[in-house]
Structures are given as structure tokens and as C-alpha cells.
Structure 1
Amino acid sequence: MPEPVYVLGGTQTDFAVNWTKEDEEPLTSMLREAVAGALIDARVEPEEIQTAHVGNFGAEQFTGQSHLGALVPMLYPAWHGLPTSRHEAACASGSIALLAATAEIEAGRYDIALVAGVELMRNIRGDQAARHLGSAAMVPEETASDDLPWPSLFNRIAEETDQRHGLDQRYLDRIAEINRTNARRNPKAQTRDWTLEPEQFTADDIVNPIVTGRTRKSDCGRITDGAAAVVLAGRRFADEWARGQRGAPRSRVLGWGHHTAPLPLRSKFLASKPDDYLFPHVRDAIFDAYRRANLQGPRDLDVIETHDCFTITEYMALEHFGLTGPGDAWQAIENGLIDFEGPLPVNPSGGLIGAGHPVGATGVRMLLDAHRQVTGTAGGYQVEAARKAGTLNIGGSASTAVSFMIGAAD
């Protein structure tokens, strides 16, 4: 049997901070802050860490820096020689780093691991950032003639959803409103202090202008700087840690799922034509995680943290998680199922739209928030009595899909 994997603690940086304005070495400083905070939260000393993994998408393009795994040994003298690596899968980079660390623990290679995700993106102009982010699509087929590749690609997902099942913009507006409202409860969310007016979630062309096609400003996630880190451990270390009464409650990784589809969006559309779901491999990743966790489905969950780089991404995810049947995601929005005080809150952190989306850190942040929810340590955005949480992190136009199921362990 694989070794069980526990989450002992973690932290994130303030996603509202523009790190280039704050620090001369922003990438390293973000990583240092998140890692130090994770060790403190987990009550673990640097000398106890046996391996480390870093999730990052585009440091080469945004900062000219690669080989980020080797930044980790710079943080503490005790980490000279520590085995480390960097992982990239577009917006799912953090989750891939988590999968690598959990696999090492399950295999018994190491008893305790650090996983960090980091991204610096606000150090350049928005148009440059958009072009760099576009490298996670099919280059040049999907990006050569488009200054906004990701709004355009996810607008195509919205159009395809409309063609197959129908799509009412009101429900996308409501997703944006829920996530931005949730973010106000999160002290490290990028948009926590932004103004929140009803007109921002309507077809008001002044307050909520069209970005491309049917996609409006409120439908889009943020350009964000940030880092997040967690400490994972196997049974032996976690049990000794618990007996030592080091403090915070632990959670457990109950199950995981990981599937990857071809890079071009059109290839995914063609492959799913015979299927009821737009991205069957995404659903497979989630349902693999359910199966490995011995969960029957979303009725066994208390909270979900899902990818919402655009509102259509979350709309799609509601169906793929099994909250509704194909084409019926609107029902989970209309009946209040996903509201903060609803039966199954989605993105109580604010999600990517509200909390922010530092690309390589997002998957780690999701797992951290799942851990906080099931251990009752989420503070102002705590979902009452949450004991089981699910995550979905996607990379590219839903090419890479990773899902985790997290449960309370104490």
C-alpha cells in the first residue's frame, strides 16, 4: 500500500502586492517569504525537510531566470545539497509539483517534503505579459494573430458551451460576483479591497466592457504576483509530529487525479464531440480523485476550490465535478448551491478571479486552502463544519487537469 500523505501546514504571500515595486529580488523574496511562513505554520525546522519541489510557469520569460529548483537551497544553509526540482504545466504547474512530492512520499523515498509555487508577472506591461502567457497555448497556431490569446481561447470555450447546451451570460456574471464577494473575506486576496458594485456584473459596456467576443472584464482573472508553500509528510513523520503536539491540526491527501489532453483547443473539441462533457479528461481527473479517496462524488464534499481563470472555466467545472449533469451548470448557480453559505460552497477563498492567479502558485494555493478549510483554520472565509474538500487545477485551455481530495486527519 502507498504511504499516506499528510499536509502539516503552509502559507501564501499577499496576492495584492506588486513585488517588483517592493523588492529588488522579487522572485527569490516571494519564494523565501512563502517557504519561511510554511515552515512556521507547520512547526517544522528547515533541517527536517528532506526534499523540495517548485511549481513555476514562466520565470524564463518574465524574469530571464530558469533553474528555480536551485533557488531553494539558497534559503537556508541547512539546505545546501537538498534534492530539489522545478515543474511546469502552465497554470497547473503547482499541482504537478504537488503530485511529484506526494509520489515521493507514497513511495517511501522521503518522510517530509516542501512544495512551493511562485510566479512574478507584474514586472512587465500587460500586453507583454499576455504574449508570454500565450506560450502555454499552441504556438503559433492559436496565438500568432491575437494580442489576447487567453481571453480569446476561453471565449471559444464559452461559445462551444453555448452551441452544445446553451449559455446564459447571467450565470457567468453571478460566478464573478460570488468569487469577488468571497475574496473580501480573504485577507490575502488580490481584490479584497476593490470596489464592488452591482453594475460590474452586468452587460454595462462602461463599467464591465467586452474584452473579446462575449467575454467581459468581470469574466477574466487577474495578473498576479505571488507564492504559496505547503509542508507534506508521510505517516511516520506526521504521527511523531502529532504526538509532539507541535500545534496545528493536519489534513490528509485522500485522493488525486491527473489527465492531459492535446495542446490545441480544437483538438479537445473534436475529441469530445461524441461525449456528453466538453472536456471528458477533466472529468476523469476529478472522478479518479473521488475513486482514490473512496468518495462517491460531490455529495461527499463540503467545499470546492476550482480553477476560474475565466468564469466559463468554473461554469464548466461545476458539471465536470458532478454537481449537475452536462449542460445544467446553471442550476447549481441559480439554486444557490455554490454560494458561500450554500450546501457546497465553491471558491470561498475568492478563487482566481477574486484571490488572484500567480500561475505557478495557484495549484499549491488551492491545496493550502483545502487544507485550511478541513482543519478549521481558514479564518474569515471558513466554511462551517468542512471536513472534505476537492480541488481542480487546469493548465492551458484545459489541457492539463489535476484534482486533489483533501480530508481532515484529526
Structure 2
Amino acid sequence: MKSYIVGVGTTKFEKPESRDWQYWDMVREAGGAALADAGISYEQVEQVPVGYCFQASTAGQRAAYELGLTGVPVYNVNNNCATGATALMMARQFVEGGISDCVLALGFEKMARGALGGGSDGGDFKTSPVARHYGIMAASHGFEMTPPTAQIFGNAAREHMAKYGTTEAQLAAVGAKNHRHSAHNPQAQFQDVYTVDEILAARTVHAPLTKLQCSPTSDGSAAAVVVSERFVERHGLAEKAVEIAGQAMTTDTPASFSSGTCVDAVGQPMSREAARQAYERAGLGIEDVDVVELHDCFSINELLTYEALGMCEPGESGELVESGATTYGGRWVVNPSGGLISKGHPLGATGLAQAAELVRQLRAEAGARQVEGARVGLAHNIGLGGAAVVTLLRRQA
């Protein structure tokens, strides 16, 4: 059975505490927009997976109740930074499994200012879910007094540079591209444009990563309405429908840890396998993809993901971004929204916001950031601990 996204909604992603709103206010805005986009009511929704990381249990219910009190099942989803895509995957499974015809996937986050800690434990790495991952880092690089997520990705960048000759300028080119793209996204947290030199000159967070190569903490919400083929037909939604052509989630295998590298510990093997499975299920390859929204939590992760998705051979990702192949006029447009680096990264909303951007691109509704002729989009959402979700979306001609 096929599944389709027929409605999407997002709030503006904002710096924490910049607006006087609660997480349920965000969900009312994003979820209401998704329902309006689909042209349906909340009473037609049969199941509601809700993704978030930093609120209490059953916060999903509190948020969804802003849309209606219909008594439908609400599921609270937490999968670190891959939470939003996990909620979307649950919605797809409900539909493709024949359990439901209409599911609303919601994601939100209301975050604190400052850098992320090491996990939901508040930074106690002895009991942290990602202790094994940070242990890999500490064994090779030690542990410094810099933000731990920036540290493990920064050390992955150092390894990539040492092995392949990747340069600081190539890493900065990722940030420059994504900040440039976000200038055309009114819902992005930042709309400032920077040169490579300005990004290199920004404050260092964990060398070689500077502040303008790191995703910020953010408040925001995103939503998607996922329905069956028969729901599309019954309600005349063919013009809005974007097919979920293939999707896969993978978690850590021995490959994440056996090499002892941060490159593998932050999830490149997971991403590679998720992409392989998603391509196989969709009957598509990277050569068919026009537009990509990927998890650039740090600039190095965009380069690692190019390689994992098959956009280039290992070690060639720095040259790929520098060549212009991943921006307008190139082979693919990657992160037209501005990505996590510039659009923002409210953890529970990120994966759904990626899907929303791709749906708008495939419907030719993206305005000044429209990728001309886009028919196939790929979303990549990853969380340490770990989970990687790759989703292929397709719009029929």
C-alpha cells in the first residue's frame, strides 16, 4: 500500500526565549497549517505520533489537544535528533500497514539557550545513552571542555582532514552555502549571508568548526499529514499528494565502533545503510534525486553524508561542495531551506521540517528558493545514540 504526504506546516524556527509561546502554541500553529494545507479537519485524523526530546512524558497529548479532543491515539516519540523523521516513519507505517488512512505526524521543541549537552541525562557521561560513542572519541582524541556534540563532530572533521586532505575552507563552504540558501527562507532562524572567509574568522567552537558551521538551539514545530492512496482518491487530493516512495531507519551496528573513529561513531555507516535500503525500496538512486535536505548539524556532517548517500566517493566530499555541485546550478541542491546550520534545529521538529521543505519543492511552492523541475527529493535525519532515517519523496509528472 502506498502512502502520501498531502499537507505540511511549519512555524518559524527561532532562538530560544525570543517569543513568548509554549510548545503547544507551536504545535497549534504548525499542525493547524498542515491540516489546512491538506484541506481536512482534525476529526479525520486517526493516529498522532508526536516527536520531541526535552519535554515531559505525554507532552505530545498536551500539544495535540490544541488541535482537537477526539480521543485518537497519541504516541510520544523520542529518538534524539532523528525524532522528527521517526514520527514521520511511524505515520507512514500506520498507513502502509493498512491500520489507518489518515495520520498526523507532529514534531516540536522548546529548547534552552546555549550548547547541547551529552543527552537527556544532563551530561553524566557514565550513564549517558551516548557514552559508548563519546568513549570512542575520548580514546583517540581525549575529552576537552568544549560542547560535547561539537567536540565529537569536530574530531570527525579532524580525522577526515588527516585522511583525505579536506580543508578548513571546504568545511566553511558548507556553512556559506547553507547560510546563503536561508536568505530566501522567511521561516529560517537566520537569513544572513556570509563568505567563506567570514565563516572561517568566526569564533571557534571546537577546531576546525566555527560558530557559523554549527547548528543553533532553536524553538519550533513542524507537521505532516500522511494518508493512504484511497484517502487521496476519496477526498480529491491528487494535486497535493507527494508519495513517500521509500524510507528506511537504521541504528548502530559494529561498524559504528569497530574502527575507533569519530567519523563512524557519529553515524556515517548508519546513514550509508539507511540510504541503501531507501533506494532499494523506492527503486531509485541518488542519480534520480533533484533536491536534498540533509542533517548538517555541523558542516562536517554534510560532507560525511554526501559520501554516505553516494553523491561522491569517500574523501571527495570537500571537492564536491567546493565545485558548486550541491547548490543552485549544480547537480543537486542540498539544503535549500538553509539546513540545520541556518534554518535552525529544534530537535523534535527537524526531520518533519525537512519533509515539509521537500514537499513544497516538489509541488513547486518554494518561491525564491525553488529548485527548478524538482521531482524527487531525499531527506536525511540522524541522531546520536543512534538512528538514521532516509526518506525518498516523489511527485508524479
Q: Give the TM-score taking structure 1 as reference length.
A: 0.87
Aligned to 1:7: 5
Q: Determine if contact 2:48/2:74 at 8 Å carries over to the other structure.
A: yes
Say whether 1:390 aligns with 2:387: no
Paired amino acid for 1:307: H
Structure 1 position 252, deviation (Å): 0.4
Paired amino acid for 2:30: A
Aligned to 1:62: none
Counterpart Cα distance in 1 of 2:260 and 2:196: 38
Q: Determine if contact 1:261/1:268 at 8 Å carries over to the other structure.
A: no
Aligned to 2:390: 403
Partner residue of 1:331 out of 305, 319, 325: 319
Paired amino acid for 1:401: A
Structure 1 position 167, deviation (Å): 1.8
Paired amino acid for 1:154: F
1:339-358 to 2 correspondences below 5 Å? 339-358=327-346
Q: Determine if contact 2:183/2:193 at 8 Å carries over to the other structure.
A: no
Q: Determine if contact 2:213/2:299 at 8 Å carries over to the other structure.
A: yes
Aligned to 1:226: 220
Distance 1:230 1:100, change over 3 A: same
Say whether 1:376 aligns with 2:364: yes
Q: Determine if contact 2:306/2:317 at 8 Å carries over to the other structure.
A: yes
User: Taking every aligned residue pair, what percent have the same amino acid on both sides?
Assistant: 30
Say whether 1:279 aligns with 2:272: no
Partner residue of 2:250 out of 259, 266, 288: 259
Q: Determine if contact 2:45/2:104 at 8 Å carries over to the other structure.
A: yes
1:3-402 to 2 correspondences below 5 Å? 3-16=1-14, 18=16, 21-23=19-21, 26-59=22-55, 65-77=56-68, 79-121=69-111, 124-126=112-114, 129-130=116-117, 137-138=130-131, 146-192=145-191, 194=192, 196=194, 199-202=197-200, 204=201, 208-242=202-236, 249-261=240-252, 267=257, 269-270=259-260, 279-295=268-284, 297-396=285-384, 399-402=386-389
Counterpart Cα distance in 2 of 1:262 and 1:223: 29
Paired amino acid for 1:22: D
Structure 1 position 268, deviation (Å): 5.8
Q: CA offsets, 1:53-83, max 9 Å, x none?
A: 1111222xxxxx3212322452244x33111
Q: Determine if contact 1:51/1:84 at 8 Å carries over to the other structure.
A: yes
Matched residue pairs, number?
A: 384
Q: CA offsets, 1:152-210, max 9 Å, x none?
A: 11112112222332321111111100000000011100101x363554223x2xxx121
Structure 1 position 266, deviation (Å): 7.3
Q: CA offsets, 1:36-61, max 9 Å, x none?
A: 111111111111111111111222xx
Structure 1 position 21, deviation (Å): 3.6
SS in 1 for 2:235: helix
Structure 1 position 229, deviation (Å): 0.4
Structure 1 position 18, deviation (Å): 4.2
Structure 1 position 116, deviation (Å): 0.8
Counterpart Cα distance in 2 of 1:56 and 1:67: 10
Structure 1 position 132, deviation (Å): 5.4
Q: Determine if contact 1:73/1:81 at 8 Å carries over to the other structure.
A: no
Q: CA offsets, 1:74-122, max 9 Å, x none?
A: 2244x3311110111100011111111111111100000000110011x
Paired amino acid for 2:183: R
Q: Which blocks of at least 5 consecutive residues in structure 1 are unaligned?
A: 60-64
Distance 1:130 1:287, change over 3 A: same
User: CA RMSD, aligned part only?
Assistant: 2.6
Counterpart Cα distance in 2 of 1:408 and 1:101: 19
Distance 1:313 1:272, change over 3 A: closer
Distance 1:256 1:76, change over 3 A: closer
Paired amino acid for 1:211: V
Q: Give the TM-score taking structure 2 as reference length.
A: 0.89
Q: Determine if contact 1:73/1:80 at 8 Å carries over to the other structure.
A: no
Structure 1 position 272, deviation (Å): 9.8
Q: Which blocks of at least 5 consecutive residues in structure 2 are unaligned?
A: none
Q: CA offsets, 1:293-312, max 9 Å, x none?
A: 101x2111111110000000
Counterpart Cα distance in 2 of 1:198 and 1:335: 14
SS in 1 for 2:257: helix
Distance 1:37 1:114, change over 3 A: same
Paired amino acid for 1:381: R
Structure 1 position 372, deviation (Å): 1.1
